[in-house]
Structure 1
Amino acid sequence: MFLSRLRLNLRCREARRDLSNPYQLHSTLCRAFSPPETKCPKGEFLWRLEPETDSSGYPRIIVQSRNIPDWGGVGVNGWIQQADPAIDLKERLKLDLLKAEQRFRFRLRANPCVTKNGKRLGLLKQDEQEKWLKRKGAQHGFCLPEFLSFDYYESSEDRIDVRISQEQMLSDKQHSDNSIRVFSVLYDGILTITEPEMFKIALKTGIGHGKVMGLGLLSVVPIF
């Protein structure tokens, strides 16, 4: 499992196009993992467009993949401003040594939602977004710290201490006749491992829906 960090060149027309359309951006990234005219293997990579640019103002993308990407395969001159060497996450995170009670800082852009009458509906209220993440944590081998309020009138029941920001509605702008719209939020916080094997699966395969649109990648940094 490898982590790559990219900076995209805003002077490149194709890069600007991709940044405005997550489906198109995913399609371009796929070229780094499969030969031309070959379908990218399902589940080969997860990715996320970070909300912060680098110090020079270039958009940042992180890509987590099963194999080391060949960014030359993107085939668009000037699309990438800079690509850092891929990091071996198995070694960096010591995945074979994960254990319960380990703590990590995390970031996750995800699609908190419920399914009603066969349709996925985004959860727009913060307490609902928190409960969604708490449920996902229980399913994927981690827990989150409880929110402690000193306000007598504010209930902290089922609340978790997590920062939620960057609410966005993502869509495929090139296919407006059959456009899929996906609600997303950015979670930042601290988690504690409860089930190491389940947690490793979450790291490898992501959390929730909308992975093609840059959602689901759980990024972690150990707390020592």
Structure 2
Amino acid sequence: MPTLTQLVLNTRQRDVHRDLDNANKMHQRVMSLLPDDLGDSARAQTNTLYRLESTHAGARLLVQTSSNMITFDRLPDAYAISTATVDLTPLLNRLTTSIPIRYAITTNPIKTVGGRKETGLRGKRVPLTDLDDIYTWWQRRAAEAGLDILNHPTAIDIEHSITGGRGNSAAAGIRHHAVTIEGTATITDPELTRQAIVTGIGRGKPYGLGLLTAVPIENEARTA
């Protein structure tokens, strides 16, 4: 029973600011909401993914897990203004071939540099910053997730880098180039789409990247 939990964060709270400024601290915060006995690979074992969003209500944290296991009383006092959890199983079951969906993902588009070995760049992963390159990358990754984005609107927003250190510094250790992609698509392979939603897409999953959220457009229209 995959679940998606929404927390509207209290940005007046000091712990919230610390977590928002340091990806490693936010990762630790998210993992602290899970049971203690999951072992060293808890994130992968539970398919835990999360995404930070800015909304009119403030900062919103979406956390997805493979089952309903979030423990809200582990949050500091006044950390979240509101919380809500929904079972994703009905949504996943509604995903069928040829239906249109609306999706969103914050991800880390990269390429592996070729060239001469002596340049020191051969085999190095570098972020994509050109919009056309990002779109081409996403078109390929979307197809691997059972989604056809051709002839569909696609919005690409190049975000700031996600950084985080193990101490109080947010500048050291973790650095991911974040891009938010939103749009519509047609499902070509529902099983691949379900898998992509449950397990995420791309690199940086422990640090707020890779969570693919989707909703059938006809369902969106009925509930609007």
CA contact 1:103–1:190 (8 Å) conserved in 2: yes
2:164 equivalent in structure 1: 172
**Offset of 1:180 from its aligned partner?**
2.7
1:100 counterpart = 2:97? yes
Displacement after TM superposition at 1:34 (Å): 2.1
Structure 1 or 2: larger helix share? 2
Deviation digits for residues 60-109 of structure 1 (CA, Å, limit 9, x no counterpart): 111111122111123x222222112x101112x1x234321011111111
Distance 2:134 2:49 in 1: 22
Which residue in the other structure is 1:90 paired with? 89
The code of the aligned residue for 1:130 comes to Y
Given that 1:106 and 1:190 are in contact with CA atoms closer than 8 Å, whether structure 2 keeps it comes out as yes
Amino acid of the residue matched to residue 139 of structure 1?
E
Q: Which residue of 1 aligns with 2:180?
A: 186
> For 1:53 and 1:70, how far apart are their aligned partners in 2?
26
- 1:220 and 1:124 map into 2 onto residues whose CA distance is 25
Alignment partners' CA distance in 2, 1:52 and 1:97:
27
DSSP 3-state at the match of 1:72: helix
Per-residue CA deviation, residues 37-70 of structure 1 (Å, 9 max, x unaligned), is 965613221110013241xxx3111111112211
- CA drift of 1:161 comes to 3.2
SS of 2:102's equivalent in the other structure is strand
Looking at structure 1, the residues matched to 38 and 188 of structure 2 have their Cα atoms a distance apart, in angstroms, of: 42
Q: Aligned AA for 2:189? A: E
TM-score by length of 2: 0.84
Q: Which moved more, 1:160-169 or 1:36-45?
A: 36-45
Instruction: Show the counterpart of 1:64.
Output: 64
Q: Which runs of 5+ in 2 are unaligned?
A: 114-121, 219-224
Residue of 206, 209, 213 corresponding to 1:215:
209
SS in 1 for 2:138: helix
Could you tell me which residue of structure 1 aligns to residue 129 of structure 2?
Answer: 124
Deviates further, 34-43 or 17-26: 34-43
- Which structure 1 residue ranges, 5 or more long, are not aligned? 147-159
Contact 1:170 1:181 in 2 (8 A): yes
Secondary structure in 2 matching 1:59: strand
Q: CA deviation at 1:167?
A: 2.1
**In 1, Cα distance between the equivalents of 2:65 and 2:26?**
15
- Residue pair 1:104, 1:223 contacting (<8 A) in 2 also: yes
Residues 102-111 or 170-179, more deviating: 170-179
RMSD: 2.1
Whether contact under 8 Å (2:31, 2:43) holds in the other structure is: no
Question: Residue 51 of structure 1 is aligned with which of 49, 54, 72?
Answer: 54
Moved over 3 A (4+): 36-40, 173-178
How far does residue 11 in structure 1 lie from its aligned partner after superposition? 2.3
- Offset, 1:122: 0.5
CA distance in 2 between partners of 1:67 and 1:109 (Å): 22
For 1:163 and 1:133, how far apart are their aligned partners in 2? 11
**What is the TM-score normalised by the length of structure 1?**
0.84
